[in-house]
Structures are given as structure tokens and as C-alpha cells.
């Protein structure tokens, strides 16, 4: 039997890594972070326990990569769903709804993920996070930003803050109110994206044209570094 080619080995490694990420999302969603062991994840994925250490430094990094993959796939599905569109405002609406939807649909998983980011390990730079970042940056670009390097981190921060607000134990913010505020911030109509039932909260219109908007301030020119 001839040895496998490099491309075949690479594909097998990719599939093995993805099975571990999928198993992590499933188990943490079912049992919580503390009750999920690396052995459990390996067993659910049908992989050897040692493969986890080969791909990831530890359980926290594995979880972050798993959630970033889930966020990337969810966002990609929302942006490309039918009817497909290149309209920047509609794509921004879909992006906001996709991320807020994860907080509502998978509260235990997303609460654990946000807690991990705020701990000492911080934000894990991994292929899954980079794919998510690419989609969010592309959304900001298509929305019409004239400074993506500044507006992408702002969108990311606003989405993270909204997710935390939805999941805050004892004092959660209603998702519809957070959605309405974000939609107003980006000049989006309530019916764009994937609107929840019941219409906008009291005092929030269906269309942003019904609200006064502040004129956009010109950006300060950047200082060139020499």
C-alpha cells in the first residue's frame, strides 16, 4: 500500500480537528464547562485523547476555538442565506441578528465563552477566530465604512457587549431592546435581517427615518509616521 499524500494527511487532520471542535460545542452546551473533560470530548469526537494536546494548548483554548467556529458558521449561513444580497445594510442587520441569536439559543455556551475571554488567557488567535474576523470585517466594508480598521473593532466590541448584556445573570437586557439600539446605531430598519416576532420595543420605530439622527462627524486625518 502506497503512503498517503500530504494533501490527504492534511484533510484527515482538518476533519479530526473539526470533530473535536464540534464535540466541544455539543458537550459544553449539554453539561457546562466544568463538567466536560478532555476525555469526554475525545470520546464524543471518536478521537484519541492525545490529539487534543496536539491541536490545542488546553481546554480553554479548545473551547474558544470551538465557539469561534460556531460563530463563523452561524454568521456565514446568515450572510449567505436566500435571498442572497450584496446590500451592506442588510448584511449588517443579518450579522447583528446572527450573533445575538447565539446568545439567546446557546446561553450556557456563550456565557462560558465570554467568561473565558475575560480571564487571564484572554483572546485566542486561532484559524477559527481569523475566519470570523474576516466575515465581520467584510460586513463592515460592504456596509460602507471609510475606516474599516477603526470600525471593525468597534462592531466587535458592540456585539460582545450586547452578548454579555443578554447573558448577564440576574439582570439580563431584553434582546429586542439591544437589537433596536444596535439597529439605530447603524441606521437599520427593524424589518431587515431576521426580526423577532412582536415588533420593536415601545418607543422604537420600524424605520430609522422616523428617528432624528446626528450628522456624521468627519474623521481626523491620520498622522503619517516616518
Contact 140, 155 (CB under 8 A): yes
What is the H or E stretch that residue 144 is in? none
Rounded CA-CA distance 153/174 in Å is: 24
**pTM (two decimals):** 0.86
Cell of 88: 451592506
Q: What are phi and psi of 178, to 5 degrees?
A: -65, -40
Residue 224 clears pLDDT 80, i.e. is over it: no
pLDDT in tens, 153-184: 999 999 999 999 999 999 999 999 999 999 99
pLDDT in tens, 11-30: 888 999 999 999 999 999 99
Amino acid at each position: 500500500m502506497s503512503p498517503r499524500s500530504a494533501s490527504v494527511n492534511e484533510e484527515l487532520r482538518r476533519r479530526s480537528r473539526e470533530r473535536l471542535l464540534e464535540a466541544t460545542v455539543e458537550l459544553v452546551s449539554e453539561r457546562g464547562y466544568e463538567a466536560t473533560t478532555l476525555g469526554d470530548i475525545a470520546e464524543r469526537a471518536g478521537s484519541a485523547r492525545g490529539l487534543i494536546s496536539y491541536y490545542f494548548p488546553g481546554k480553554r483554548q479548545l473551547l474558544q476555538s470551538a465557539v469561534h467556529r460556531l460563530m463563523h458558521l452561524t454568521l456565514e449561513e446568515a450572510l449567505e442565506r436566500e435571498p442572497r444580497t450584496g446590500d451592506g445594510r442588510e448584511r449588517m442587520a443579518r450579522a447583528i441578528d446572527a450573533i445575538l441569536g447565539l446568545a439567546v439559543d446557546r446561553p450556557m455556551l456563550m456565557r462560558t465563552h465570554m467568561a473565558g475571554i475575560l480571564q487571564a488567557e484572554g483572546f485566542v488567535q486561532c484559524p477559527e477566530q481569523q475566519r470570523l474576523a474576516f466575515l465581520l470585517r467584510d460586513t463592515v466594508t460592504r456596509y460602507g465604512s471609510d475606516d474599516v480598521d477603526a470600525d471593525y473593532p468597534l462592531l466587535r466590541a458592540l456585539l460582545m457587549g450586547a452578548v454579555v448584556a443578554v447573558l448577564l445573570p440576574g439582570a439580563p437586557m431584553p434582546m429586542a431592546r439591544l437589537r433596536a439600539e444596535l439597529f439605530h446605531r447603524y441606521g437599520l430598519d427593524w424589518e431587515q435581517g431576521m426580526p423577532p416576532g412582536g415588533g420593536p420595543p415601545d418607543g422604537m420605530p420600524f424605520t430609522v427615518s422616523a428617528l432624528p439622527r446626528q450628522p456624521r462627524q468627519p474623521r481626523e486625518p491620520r498622522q503619517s509616521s516616518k
